[in-house]
Structure formats: structure tokens, C-alpha cells
Amino acid sequence: MQTEQELKELVRQKYSEIALQDKETNMSSCCGAGGCSTEVYNIMSDDYTKMEGYNADADLGLGCGLPTEFAQIKPGDTVIDLGSGAGNDCFIARAATGPTGRVIGIDFTEAMIDKARANVDKLGYNNVEFRQGDIEKMPVGGNVADVIVSNCVLNLVPNKNNVIKEIYRVLKPGGHFSISDVVLVGELPEKLRNVAEMYAGCVSGAIQKQVYLELIQNNGFKDITLQKEKPIVIPDDILSQYLSAEEIAEFKNSGTGIYSITVFAKKPVAEACCTPGGGCC
């Protein structure tokens, strides 16, 4: 079994390649995992093009939702985007927070950071910045963000609990997040979970929906709300690369579901006596 560090390096390598692919290749694949389907276009990602602040150069077609649409960003807010890629959600967040706000994008991959910084230089924004770093240990201080957004990123992180703890640390009291991600209902076939390309392509890194929501609750967040949920159907020409015809039929009849969800939650204004990871009074 691969270690957490090995899985992170796999994702870093894959997304370095993805940074150089065109949007059409990314959108016709499993979150950029390769041109792996001829049956569908846009397996997971939603259409950003009508949103204010949209910049085509920053849209790599890698998401599985529209978290910034649901994020309730106000003028003057400080917004952090986890796994910011080429900057798409950051620029849309900037349109909402305005020139008096601040937007910070954090990404694990140097090639993505370079692409995002080139995009922000072209746009001339002085209140959007990009930092390379691990979202399990964000390169920002505590209690600094009014809003955190993320689009199809936590599923790529082996230790999701660490990321949720970091989100709690970085949000201001009363701050909130809106995160789109891929989750499961039921168990994926082992062959899909063990394929590296599928891992980097969002699906086999996903965890059970109920476990995902419990992690958020167990880390102290309140007002947890499913803002959007949609099923994701993996086409047969992808499944056939990993499963036999019989296994595909069994998979389809198993009741297993793959979903894109957008989750909202708040950090309490006043922390309880026993805070997550802080011990008890």
C-alpha cells in the first residue's frame, strides 16, 4: 500500500502534467486524468462561463461543482481557495469580494502556481495572490479567512481530517466554507481504487459521503448544509479499462453511487470549552 507521501507525490506529478493540458482534454476526462472517454464531454465539471470574474485562461475544467456560486462572499472578505489551480475560483471570488477584499490561492503544484501567477499578472489584480503549499499545513496564519472555497481537491488528499482541522484553524470565528468534492455511497470495486490514474482523477480518492460529513461535524463546524448534490456516471469506455463486462454489470447493479456534493459549514463565533484538537478545560 502506498504511503500518504507517495500518494501526494503521485497527485503532484499528475497535476503538473495536467497544468500543461488544454481545457478540452481535462473536461473530457476524470478531473484531468487523461483523455479517457469518448462517450461524454464534461464528466464532472460545471459551467463557470456565466459567472462574474470568469477568465477563460484560468479555467482548466478540473472541478466538480461551483463552490464560489454558493460561498456567500461579501465585499471586503478575505477568501482562500484550496487547490487553486490556474486561478479560476480565485478570480470569481475576487469579483465578489471586490477591490477592498483579499483572495489567496493555495496549490501543491509548482506548475499550477506558475500558471495562476501569470494569469493574475495579465489581469493586473493587486489583491489576489497564489502561494505554493500543502493544504494539510496551509501557509497562512490562523483566524484570517472569512470564507474558504475549494473545488474537487480534498478527495485528492490522503488525510482529509488534517485538511478540515486546518480549515477550522484558518477561518475566522463566524467564518464559513463552501467546498465541492467527490464522495461515495457504497464501495467502489478494488480495481478502481488501486489504479493511479483514477486516483489522480478524483474518483478513487473519494470517501463515503457520511464519513465526509462526520469529519466536518467532528471538527467543530456548525450549520452543515448540502448546497448541491449530483450523481457522477463513469462511462463504460472508462470502466472497461479496469473491469470486465461482468464486473461492470455487477458494479452498476450494486447500488454504489459516486456524487459531487457542495457542502457549506460555519466555524462557531464562540468556541466551546473543548475545541477540536485542543484538549478539554
Helix boundaries (H) for the chain: 4-18, 23-27, 67-70, 88-97, 110-123, 160-170, 190-193, 196-200, 209-218, 236-239, 245-252
- For 221-241, the pLDDT digits (tens) are 999 999 999 888 777 877 888
Read off the pLDDT of each residue in 234-261 and give the average, rounded to a whole number.
Answer: 84
- What's the per-residue H, E or C state across 84-104? CCCCHHHHHHHHHHCCCCEEE
Instruction: Quote the pLDDT of residue 37.
Output: 47
Comparison of pLDDT for 41 and 14, the residue scoring more: 14
Instruction: Quote the pLDDT of residue 84.
Output: 94
At 27, give phi and psi (nearest 5°). Answer: -75, -25
Read off the pLDDT of each residue in 146-165 and give the average, rounded to a whole number.
Answer: 92
The domain ranges of the chain are 4-266
| Confidence band, pLDDT 50/70/90 cuts, at residue 252 | confident
216 contact partners, CB below 8 Å, separation of at least 6: 164, 224, 263, 265
- For 261-276, the pLDDT digits (tens) are 999 999 999 865 555 5
Highest mean pLDDT of the ranges 26-30, 130-134, 194-198, 233-237: 130-134
Contact status, residue 130 vs residue 116, Cβ threshold 8 Å: yes
- Three-class DSSP category at 267: coil
Q: Determine the distance from the C-alpha atom of residue 173 to the mean position of all C-alpha atoms in its chain, rounded to a whole number.
A: 22
Comparison of pLDDT for 103 and 17, the residue scoring more: 103
Comparison of pLDDT for 48 and 193, the residue scoring more: 48
Q: Is the pLDDT of residue 137 over 90?
A: yes
Comparison of pLDDT for 40 and 205, the residue scoring more: 205
Contact status, residue 237 vs residue 34, Cβ threshold 8 Å: no
| Confidence band, pLDDT 50/70/90 cuts, at residue 12 | low
Contact status, residue 32 vs residue 25, Cβ threshold 8 Å: yes
Instruction: Quote the pLDDT of residue 191.
Output: 76
| Confidence band, pLDDT 50/70/90 cuts, at residue 190 | confident
Distance CA 225, CA 133 (A): 28
pTM for this one?
0.82
- Name the CATH superfamily, with its identifier, for domain 4-266: Vaccinia Virus protein VP39 (3.40.50.150)
Q: Please state which of the ranges 76-80, 123-127, 190-194, 218-222 shows the lowest mean pLDDT.
A: 190-194
Distance CA 130, CA 153 (A): 16
